[in-house]
Amino acid sequence: MSYTNFTLDIDADGIALVTWDMPDRSMNVFTEEAMLELNAIVDKVASDASIKGAVITSGKDTFSGGADITMLQKMLSKFAADKAKDLDKATKALFDNAGYMTGLFRKLETSGKPWVSAINGTCMGGAFELSLACHGRVAADSDKVKMALPEVKIGIFPGAGGTQRVPRLTDQQQALQMLTSGQTLSPQKARSMGLIHEIAEPTKLVETAKAMIKNGLKPVAPWDEKGFKLPGGPVYSVAGANLWPPAIAILRRETYGNYPAAAAILKCVYEGLLVPFDTGLRIEQRYFTEIMQTREAAAMIRSLFVSLQELNKGARRPAGVPETKFKKIGVLGAGFMGAGIAYVTAKAGIPVVLLDRDMDAAAKGKAHSDSLISDQVRKGRAKPEDKDRLLSLITPTADYADLAGCDLVVEAVFEDSGVKKDATEKAEAVLKPAAVFASNTSTIPITSLAKNSARPKNFIGIHFFSPVDKMMLVEIILGKKTGDKALATAIDFVRAIKKTPIVVNDTRGFYVNRCVLRYMSEAYKMLIEGIPAPMIENAAKAAGMPVGPLALTDETAIDLAQKIMKQTMRDLGDKAVDPKQMTLINTLVDTHGRFGRKNGKGFYDYPQKPAKKKLWPGLKDLYRQLPPEEVDYEELKQRLLVTIALEAARVMEEGIVTDPREADVGSILAFGFAPFTGGVLSYIDGIGAKKFVKIAKGLQKKYGGEFKAPKLLLEMAEKGETFYERFDPYARSEAKKAA
């Protein structure tokens, strides 16, 4: 039999080498076809008396990314379509489909022939579950080898035996930590946990795997042998009593009950370890079927896997524009932001010229990269030669002539129109005609800045978030005259530095900052109402936000919030800012000198480490405090999410963001909008436009006009539409192809 996705070669010793190498894919993934082929190979190995055992490895640089998540999406779509006709039948079909991979791996494990997984690169999800079902596991001694069961990060969990095999191979505490966090393991860590057996030189990986079979590897999993005992002892033991109650409490503390998949992992492990292995697999399959039906799973799979991948692959890139291969990038301004942009550019292997007013300032910017990469070397995440290579790519300068030959220049100078005008004119004087000029601005409209350019078609906004090396999102802002070449080049650059691009039309605050400012503003209102600051911060975290709005204001700086408010009033009039909120910020900055984390005093106090930050006690003296029992805590959570979502809906109505994928992914990557919802628009879609509008009207009646639903939402509520129906990104893609 011939195979499309695998090759099967039997050597003179009777050992089969199964090489996974899917055509037309950069990475192997489990598709229906791949699983059917592997099933046939398992049958072949088991039935052929001349085959002594099998080694499975990859023909690519990576082993496998696991299951094709779009396959799961199809399962969910079919379930959604069928459940209206017959819920029981649809659920049974979902259960059976969810169990196919489980059955395949168990068949391999009990086939009577020894199997060894030879892991030569990234091995994630279902691929690592396949490896765990093999009787032996060997990983290459390489930085490229990373193993994980990361499914919880997209709202599901390892449902092909992962929750049963991991805690039977390692102690339950390490198993729970790995499974509930999606922790990535190095070969050394995996071996110390007992999840792999050997680490081999990359060139001897298959040879080492075959040697395990030659040396008499038993074709029986530990849990299938009589007398098997769990590492670390049974659930009902002293060790179990010390582990499980705190584990449940820690999960609650970390997730606030917002992630059903994480809770299901604990249930699977706890219940599964009390019963025989095959019963444990059945328990896992039932919980997996349950989790697959949750709103959280559907939303997170769509936004954090499918949409994220599509955007990373350039879903919004104009068709027909040749891809830019960057030979040289210029960065104007070597401050914290510019230095960060230079670092990520050099890290991507692209030469970068870092320009500032004098060589001392430019050299200081390069020193920032030295500090960042040195920290990586110290932590073992980079090698000394990586540091030398990165720093050799950064050229500090004070001479604009050094920008000659740049394909793209990113301006990150002081947020002042005059300073930006001067930088633009000096840079364009030496740039080649085809070069693109990008401004990294967070407040000034790109269309107005483009007036300083002699070639506005090649002028675009590229808005990074701080710190650049850690924040994964980049907003690309189109001016009125920005051309396709500039957009394509900007997207190519963002992809080259391994960030996620979203495309935004020009407006004050663009997309992210408009939403973030609403989040902060609502917290200021709550303080003024007398709601205790700890309740505000805790409500935000319980709602799913990673950082409370007051802590976020401290991170971005309270005096910056003051500047933005004053600029808004100058541009739009005094009524554009709530005077009570202006008074609050002025009091903090002007009266108490509290600027935020940068001067150790903001809404929080920042003592020297290792002491942790704590809310400033003086906050409770600024306004009369409401007794906590008089505050509706659930409503606080709702207000913080709804105010952001309403602003996102306004942005869609105004045509600032046109693709719901970008709105959702952008909200999660930029400011951590409750990831379990799938993002701002998925949050509204999940509630339903009609119900959401009703909630907004109730909040408007109590708290004011910022909760007024835009006409777009009212119309969607009347028609029963979702954002993904009304602004279907795939319909637009198909229309482009047809054109």
Q: What is the CATH number of the domain that holds 194?
A: 3.90.226.10
- Check whether residue 39 and residue 172 sit in a common domain: yes
Question: Would you say how long the chain is, in residues?
Answer: 739
Q: Is residue 300 part of a domain?
A: no
Q: Is residue 109 part of a domain?
A: yes
- b/e map 416-455, b = 16+ CB within 10 Å: eeeebeebbeebbebbeeebbbbbbbbbbbbbebbebbeb
Q: Are 443 and 517 in contact (CB under 8 A)?
A: no
Q: Is residue 302 part of a domain?
A: no
When pLDDT is averaged across residues 70-99 and rounded to a whole number, the result is: 87
pLDDT at 83: 87
Q: Is residue 188 part of a domain?
A: yes
Q: What is the pTM of this model?
A: 0.92
Q: In angstroms, rounded to a whole number, what is the distance separating the alpha carbons of residues 118 and 204? A: 10
DSSP string computed for 671-717: H---GGGTSHHHHHHHH-HHHHHHHHHHHHHHH-GGGPPPHHHHHHH
Q: Which residue has the higher pLDDT, 640 or 75?
A: 640
Domain that holds residue 445: 329-509
Q: Are 716 and 689 in contact (CB under 8 A)?
A: yes
Burial class (CB in 10 A: 0-12, 13-18, 19+), 303: buried
Among 293, 314, 343, which residue terminates a domain? 293
- Which whole-number Å values give the CA distances from 293 to 30, 76, 258, 306, 442, in the listed order? 21, 7, 15, 17, 40
**What element of type H or E holds 436?**
strand 436-439
pLDDT per position as a tens digit, 690-737: 999 999 999 999 999 999 999 999 999 999 999 999 999 988 655 555
Label residue 447 by pLDDT band (50, 70, 90).
very high
Burial class (CB in 10 A: 0-12, 13-18, 19+), 276: exposed
Q: In angstroms, rounded to a whole number, what is the distance separating the alpha carbons of residues 683 and 544? A: 12
pLDDT at 77: 83
Is 626 strand, coil or helix?
coil
Q: Are 461 and 439 in contact (CB under 8 A)?
A: yes
- Above pLDDT 90, what percent of the chain? 87
* Alpha-helical runs (H) found in 430-483: 446-450
Q: Which residue has the higher pLDDT, 73 or 487?
A: 487
Q: Are 165 and 225 in contact (CB under 8 A)?
A: no
Q: Residue 102: which of 272, 312, 255 has the closest Cα?
A: 272
Q: Is residue 317 part of a domain?
A: no
- Check whether residue 502 and residue 545 sit in a common domain: no
Burial class (CB in 10 A: 0-12, 13-18, 19+), 14: middle
- DSSP, res 576: G
Q: Are 145 and 151 in contact (CB under 8 A)?
A: no
Task: Report the 10 Å Cβ neighbour count for 688.
Answer: 14
Q: Report whether pLDDT(73) > 90.
A: no
Burial class (CB in 10 A: 0-12, 13-18, 19+), 508: middle
pLDDT per position as a tens digit, 132-162: 999 999 999 998 999 999 999 999 999 999 9
Among 478, 509, 540, which residue terminates a domain? 509
pLDDT at 568: 85
- b/e map 183-214, b = 16+ CB within 10 Å: eebbbeebbebebbbbbbeeeebbebbbbbbe
The label of the residue with tokens 């209102």 reads: 525
Q: Residue 161: which of 140, 174, 175 has the closest Cα?
A: 175
CATH number at residue 613: 1.10.1040.50
pLDDT at 205: 97
pLDDT at 668: 97
Burial class (CB in 10 A: 0-12, 13-18, 19+), 355: buried
Q: Report whether pLDDT(445) > 90.
A: no
Q: Residue 168: which of 260, 57, 278 has the closest Cα?
A: 278
Catalytic (active site) residue 463? yes
Which tokens belong to 413?
């100078």
Q: Residue 545: which of 145, 256, 152 has the closest Cα?
A: 256
Q: Report whether pLDDT(61) > 90.
A: yes
- Check whether residue 239 and residue 342 sit in a common domain: no
The label of the residue with tokens 């809770």 reads: 263
**What element of type H or E holds 461?**
strand 459-464
Strand partners, 605: 601, 614
Structural domains of the chain, count? 3
Q: In angstroms, rounded to a whole number, what is the distance separating the alpha carbons of residues 143 and 133? A: 24
Q: Is residue 739 part of a domain?
A: no
When pLDDT is averaged across residues 530-556 and rounded to a whole number, the result is: 95
pLDDT at 735: 53
Q: Which of 19-23, 68-72, 462-466, 514-518 has the lowest mean pLDDT?
A: 68-72
Is 276 strand, coil or helix?
coil
Q: Report whether pLDDT(738) > 80.
A: no
Q: Residue 362: which of 412, 321, 311, 319 has the closest Cα?
A: 412
pLDDT at 691: 98
- Check whether residue 274 and residue 350 sit in a common domain: no
Q: Which of 135, 197, 368, 463 is catalytic?
A: 463
Q: Is residue 269 part of a domain?
A: yes
pLDDT at 167: 97
Which tokens belong to 251?
């999960």
pLDDT per position as a tens digit, 239-275: 999 999 999 999 999 999 999 999 999 999 999 999 9
pLDDT at 333: 94
Q: Which residue has the higher pLDDT, 525 or 735?
A: 525
- Which whole-number Å values give the CA distances from 728 to 69, 460, 513, 661, 662, in the listed order? 20, 26, 24, 9, 12
**Spatial CB neighbours of 373, under 8 Å, sequence gap ≥ 6:** 343, 347, 382, 386, 387, 390, 391
- Check whether residue 172 and residue 253 sit in a common domain: yes
- Check whether residue 522 and residue 455 sit in a common domain: no
pLDDT at 590: 94
pLDDT at 59: 95
- Check whether residue 343 and residue 198 sit in a common domain: no
The phi, psi pair for 143, rounded to 5°, reads -65, -20
Is 631 strand, coil or helix?
coil
- Check whether residue 401 and residue 493 sit in a common domain: yes
pLDDT at 734: 58
When pLDDT is averaged across residues 265-291 and rounded to a whole number, the result is: 97
Q: Report whether pLDDT(450) > 90.
A: yes
Among 509, 531, 551, which residue terminates a domain? 509
**Spatial CB neighbours of 267, under 8 Å, sequence gap ≥ 6:** 287
- Check whether residue 574 and residue 522 sit in a common domain: yes
- DSSP, res 394: E
Burial class (CB in 10 A: 0-12, 13-18, 19+), 107: middle
Q: Report whether pLDDT(672) > 70.
A: yes
Q: In angstroms, rounded to a whole number, what is the distance separating the alpha carbons of residues 184 and 124? A: 9
- Check whether residue 497 and residue 557 sit in a common domain: no
- Check whether residue 463 and residue 567 sit in a common domain: no
CA atoms within 13 A on the CB side of 675: 22
Q: Report whether pLDDT(509) > 80.
A: no
Strand partners, 116: 55, 136
Q: Report whether pLDDT(84) > 80.
A: yes
Q: Is residue 552 part of a domain?
A: yes
Q: Are 104 and 35 in contact (CB under 8 A)?
A: yes
- Check whether residue 283 and residue 344 sit in a common domain: no
Q: In angstroms, rounded to a whole number, what is the distance separating the alpha carbons of residues 724 and 238? A: 51
Q: Which amino acid is at 609?
A: K
Count each helix (H run) and each strand (E run) in the chain, helices first.
33, 19
Burial class (CB in 10 A: 0-12, 13-18, 19+), 176: buried
When pLDDT is averaged across residues 323-347 and rounded to a whole number, the result is: 95
Tell me the pairing of strands 115-119 and 53-58.
parallel
Q: In angstroms, rounded to a whole number, what is the distance separating the alpha carbons of residues 436 and 478? A: 13
- Above pLDDT 70, what percent of the chain? 99
